[in-house]
């Protein structure tokens, strides 16, 4: 029997309408009456993921007495099956774990690493021009995958389930298949050109007669089931040293890729201390390097703390202007300073200090946008629409998990490992192929993010946990490439500054500025009058498609509130 969803709670849509929240600080539970957006509620825990089947299996783990990390690892493997465009075992990511009982917040860094044979100029042609095709759509685009080692490490440190138990639902979903929703069909159609170039990808994502799956068809992944089963039977090292490693290396050797047996055998996740800041009395923990997310979310919040954002109000021109001004300064710093701290010095204490924020704030004028070229120089670049996935999980015993992982683009490089049933990431594109040349998200990187063997490429993924009075309060994060940091920031501000319940906070329209290109990107839903006011201050407004998918949780007074992001039709929050 293929899997069918038991329950599918999608955050009530109406994306794009400006929200009006009460101005008094009230408990999340007290503001539900009379609100237009309603979170999922729970008394003992909550899961929020971007796919209802992953939410369902994670929910079952919690219901059977597993903890939040057990549920997160189970969801991570299930998403690799049900949402293969971004859920993965061929990529990498970050998991933040907050244990209220010990007071510790830990980060597991399972970001991909550059293979030993990688070189600083490997994506430049003979004239020294960066060739994006090479860093995105070839076997050389793949970093050494970290997901299997990272999820297994989380389970070892914090879980109660065995690895094989956490893998069981994923194996079942891959073996028995699941009924494909519209989003799956659309995603494969969008990436069709890339996927059909490679026999293994074609065989994985299309039917035997070569036709595409349609809504209602059952999608099975026997090769992936076999790979997951080998990992379940032999442990995580199987992926790095066993038959799966052999399949990856054979794939690399057939197509001029760089990843070797030694690269795989040498891969290790790292335990990191998260970036930490304080915003209006709340403790904010978010991913530290090799992600830029934590440093810059704290930097932006420090700048904004100096303004009465609550009084100005959600969607007001003043609020949006100040957010944009703070964002551009942080992204200019990102381009200059951020990289893997195992390889380069990053001035993290300075970036996240209140004094530095005071200095930045003093450069901001309320009535005029600072042009980006007065902040620093660089080249504008277009955005691309892509996909990563974030999930948040909390249990009733004080454990909370915020996890973002990715293969970079939707369907990564589009290249599946023959015989192993999973896609390779194209994360190498997150390095700077050449200083000053933007990556796929228009992000500029410098020396700090140049390619070096064994190094982790700079990320924007920002799994975040906010604590209040020592207790887990808000668990959030998002996909969205460069927009991840600003999406996560806005969920946090919507809850803390604008007193929105978590479903409203997640659904509200978003804005984004990343310094270069010098434009203020907005979703539909802001008032045209407000946008005119912003233009009058010198902002170039660009209204584009939706940003991010911030599956989030708020815990208050022992109750759990889940916000499923309506920007994904398969998003699902489930409380228990």
Nearer residue to ligand DON within complex by CB, 399 or 443: 443
Answer yes or no whether residue 480 interacts with ligand DON by CB under 6 A. yes
Residues 6 or more apart in contact with residue 568 via CB below 8 angstroms: 50, 183, 549
Q: Specify whether the CB–CB gap between 275 and 281 falls below 8 A.
A: no
Which window, 11-19, 230-238, 458-466, 512-520, contacts ligand DON (CB under 6 A)? 458-466
Residues 481-540 that bind ligand DON (CB under 6 A): 481, 484
HSE of 203 in the Cβ direction (CA atoms, 13 Å)?
A: 13
Q: What is the smallest separation between the CB atom of 354 and ligand DON, expressed in angstroms?
A: 26
Map residue 361 onto helix, strand or coil: helix
Q: What is the smallest separation between the CB atom of 111 and ligand DON, expressed in angstroms?
A: 8
Residues 6 or more apart in contact with residue 108 via CB below 8 angstroms: 94, 95, 97, 150, 153, 154, 157, 269, 270, 271, 272
Which window, 119-127, 331-339, 342-350, 476-484, contacts ligand DON (CB under 6 A)? 476-484
Q: Distance (Å, rounded) from C-alpha 414 to C-alpha 339?
A: 26
Answer yes or no whether residue 174 interacts with ligand DON by CB under 6 A. no
Nearer residue to ligand DON within complex by CB, 28 or 113: 113
Q: Residue from 109, 387, 497, 523 that binds ligand DON (CB under 6 A)?
A: 387
Number of residues forming the site for ligand DON (CB under 6 A): 14
Q: Distance (Å, rounded) from C-alpha 70 to C-alpha 265?
A: 25
Q: Residue from 388, 403, 514, 552 that binds ligand DON (CB under 6 A)?
A: 388
Which window, 99-107, 207-215, 312-320, 478-486, contacts ligand DON (CB under 6 A)? 478-486
Answer yes or no whether residue 571 interacts with ligand DON by CB under 6 A. no
Which window, 49-57, 277-285, 326-334, 480-488, contacts ligand DON (CB under 6 A)? 480-488
Nearer residue to ligand DON within complex by CB, 39 or 481: 481
Q: Residue from 76, 277, 463, 479 that binds ligand DON (CB under 6 A)?
A: 479
Residues 6 or more apart in contact with residue 78 via CB below 8 angstroms: 51, 53, 54, 57, 58, 87, 169, 170, 173
Considering only CA atoms, give the Rg of the chain: 22
Which window, 42-50, 126-134, 360-368, 457-465, contacts ligand DON (CB under 6 A)? 457-465
Q: Specify whether the CB–CB gap between 109 and 151 falls below 8 A.
A: no
Answer yes or no whether residue 461 interacts with ligand DON by CB under 6 A. yes
Nearer residue to ligand DON within complex by CB, 106 or 406: 406
Nearer residue to ligand DON within complex by CB, 42 or 146: 146
- The yes-or-no answer on residue 388 being catalytic is yes
CA distances from 437 to 372, 384, 408, 440, 447 (A): 16, 15, 18, 10, 11
Chain-centre distance for alpha carbon 273: 18
Nearer residue to ligand DON within complex by CB, 201 or 292: 292
Q: Specify whether the CB–CB gap between 490 and 510 falls below 8 A.
A: yes
- Taken in order 292, 294, 295, 297, the sign of the CA dihedral is positive
Which window, 225-233, 329-337, 353-361, 384-392, contacts ligand DON (CB under 6 A)? 384-392
Q: Kindly name the residue from 388, 486, 530, 570 that is annotated as catalytic.
A: 388
Answer yes or no whether residue 386 interacts with ligand DON by CB under 6 A. yes
Nearer residue to ligand DON within complex by CB, 11 or 92: 92
Lookup: tokens for 554: 């708020």
Nearer residue to ligand DON within complex by CB, 82 or 460: 460
What DSSP element (H or E) covers 217? Answer: none
Taking phi first (over 0 means left), then psi (-120 to 50 degrees means alpha), and beta for anything else, what does residue 381 get?
A: beta
Compose the 390-409 pattern: x for residues touching ligand DON by CB under 6 A, - for all others. Answer: ----------------x-x-
Residues 416-455 that bind ligand DON (CB under 6 A): 427, 430
Supply the DSSP string of 517-556, one letter for each residue. Answer: S--EEE-TTS-HHHHHHHHHTT--EEE-S------EEEEE
Catalytic residue positions? 388
Q: Which residues of this protein are in contact with ligand DON, per CB under 6 A?
A: 386-388, 406, 408, 427, 430, 459-461, 479-481, 484
């Amino acid at each position: 029997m293929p899997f069918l969803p038991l329950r599918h709670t999608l955050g009530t849509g109406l994306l794009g309408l400006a929200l009006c929240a009460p101005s008094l600080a009230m408990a999340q539970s007290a503001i539900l009456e009379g609100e237009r957006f309603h979170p999922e509620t729970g008394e003992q825990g909550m899961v929020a993921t971007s796919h209802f089947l992953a939410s369902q299996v994670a929910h079952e783990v919690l219901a059977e007495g597993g903890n939040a990390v057990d549920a997160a690892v189970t969801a991570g493997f299930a998403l690799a099956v049900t949402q293969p465009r971004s859920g993965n075992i061929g990529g990498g990511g970050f998991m933040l774990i907050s244990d209220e009982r010990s007071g510790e917040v830990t980060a597991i860094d399972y970001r991909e690493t550059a293979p030993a044979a990688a070189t600083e100029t490997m994506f430049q042609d003979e004239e020294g021009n960066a060739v994006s095709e090479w860093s995105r759509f070839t076997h050389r685009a793949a970093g050494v995958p970290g997901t299997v080692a990272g999820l297994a490490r989380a389970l070892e440190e914090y879980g109660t389930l065995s690895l094989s138990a956490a893998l069981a639902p994923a194996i079942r979903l891959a073996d028995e298949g699941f009924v494909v929703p519209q989003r799956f069909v659309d995603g494969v159609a969008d990436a069709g050109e890339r996927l059909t170039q490679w026999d293994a990808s074609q065989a994985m994502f299309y039917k035997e007669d070569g036709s595409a799956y349609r809504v209602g068809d059952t999608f099975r992944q026997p090769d992936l089931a076999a790979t997951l089963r080998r990992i379940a039977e032999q442990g995580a090292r199987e992926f790095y040293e066993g038959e799966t490693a052999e399949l990856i290396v054979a794939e690399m050797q057939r197509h001029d890729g760089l990843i070797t047996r030694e690269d795989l055998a040498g891969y290790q996740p790292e335990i990191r201390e998260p970036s930490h800041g304080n915003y209006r009395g709340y403790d904010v923990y978010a991913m530290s390097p090799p992600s830029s997310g934590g440093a810059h979310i704290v930097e932006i919040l420090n700048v904004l703390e100096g303004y009465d954002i609550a009084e100005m109000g959600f969607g007001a021109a003043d609020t949006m202007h100040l957010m944009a001004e703070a964002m551009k300064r942080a992204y200019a710093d990102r381009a200059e300073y951020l990289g893997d701290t195992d390889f380069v010095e990053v001035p993290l204490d300075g970036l996240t200090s209140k004094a530095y924020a005071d200095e930045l704030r003093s450069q901001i004028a309320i009535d005029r946008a600072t042009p980006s070229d007065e902040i620093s120089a660089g080249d504008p670049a277009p955005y691309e629409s892509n996909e990563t996935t974030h999930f948040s999980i909390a249990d009733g015993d004080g454990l909370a998990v915020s996890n973002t992982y990715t293969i970079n683009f939707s369907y990564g490089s589009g290249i599946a490992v023959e015989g192993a049933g999973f896609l390779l990431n194209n994360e190498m594109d997150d390095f700077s192929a050449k200083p000053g040349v933007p990556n796929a998200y228009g992000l500029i990187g410098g020396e700090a993010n140049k390619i070096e063997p064994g190094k982790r490429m700079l990320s924007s993924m920002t799994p975040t946990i906010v604590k209040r009075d020592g207790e887990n309060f808000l668990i959030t994060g998002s996909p969205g490439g460069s927009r991840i940091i600003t999406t996560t920031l806005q969920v946090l501000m919507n809850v803390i500054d604008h007193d929105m319940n978590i479903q409203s906070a997640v659904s509200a329209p978003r804005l984004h500025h990343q310094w270069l290109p010098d434009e203020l990107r907005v979703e539909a839903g802001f008032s045209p009058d407000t946008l005119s006011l912003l233009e009058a201050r010198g902002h170039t407004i660009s209204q584009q498609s939706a940003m991010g998918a911030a599956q989030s949780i708020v815990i208050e007074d022992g109750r759990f509130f889940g916000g499923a992001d309506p920007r994904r039709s398969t998003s699902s929050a489930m409380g228990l």
